[in-house]
Amino acid sequence: MKLADFKVLTFDCYGTLIDWESGITAALQPLLARAKPALAGDAVLETFARHESAQEAETPGLIYSVLLATVHRRLAGEWGVRPDEAEDMRFGASVPDWPAFSDSRSALAYLKRHYRLVILSNVDRASFAGSNRRLGVEFDAIFTAQDIGSYKPNPANFNYMLARLAEQGIASGEILHTAQSLFHDHAPAKRAGLATAWIDRRHERSGWGATMPPPTDTTYDFRFQSLDAMVAAHQAETGH
């Protein structure tokens, strides 16, 4: 199997293209400043992952900015902090402030010359629009949880994407799903019959950070530590 075998790259965004762990941590600082005992690092991200995943399962139709505000309120309760509705809403609206990884913009510009690029994201349209401006590329299709009415790893999200792409004449064998989260993306993508490329953004750290642990049998077809590494592999294959 080679990268050049595929015509379409379907991307997760947050954790893959956008550095959501840095963005989440920055947006949680007002809440963390009041938490007792003090919390930091992966302990914060792992608690976020637990509440976000639970909330997505409980309220799959809730728009992501509102869902994030609800998660913020849940975190305040767990950390013994008096709830603040305005602060909840600011956290929910923080997605467009989350930074892109340093290689995302240039890598996407290169990959756009060789593939159709598609987004499949656990987010709402307005939040993604803010992130898209940071990425600087026009995606050929964008599918969000808001469009689908559920959140990955629900198989409905991949089924929806594959059905819409099939309407455009794109077969599943032409697609390489490219993502960081083994839990949200690789496990359900493989169940849907897709080839996958793992962008292992946390390769220098242990644990799963802002995502839940994946099923123990989760597999993937390619592994790269960055999008730059994926571009280099494509260049090596094709001579571009």
User: What span, in angstroms and rounded, lies between the C-alpha atoms of 106 and 176?
Assistant: 19
User: What span, in angstroms and rounded, lies between the C-alpha atoms of 139 and 9?
Assistant: 10
Tell me if 91 sits within 8 A of 69, measured CB to CB. yes
Cα angle vertex 72, ends 94, 102, to 5°? 35
Helices (H) and strands (E) in the chain, counts: 11, 6
Sheet holding 8-11, edge to edge: 141-144, 116-121, 8-11, 175-179, 195-199, 222-224
Tally the C-alpha atoms within 13 A of residue 194's C-alpha that lie toward its C-beta.
29
User: What span, in angstroms and rounded, lies between the C-alpha atoms of 84 and 88?
Assistant: 6
Which residues are tagged catalytic? Answer: 12
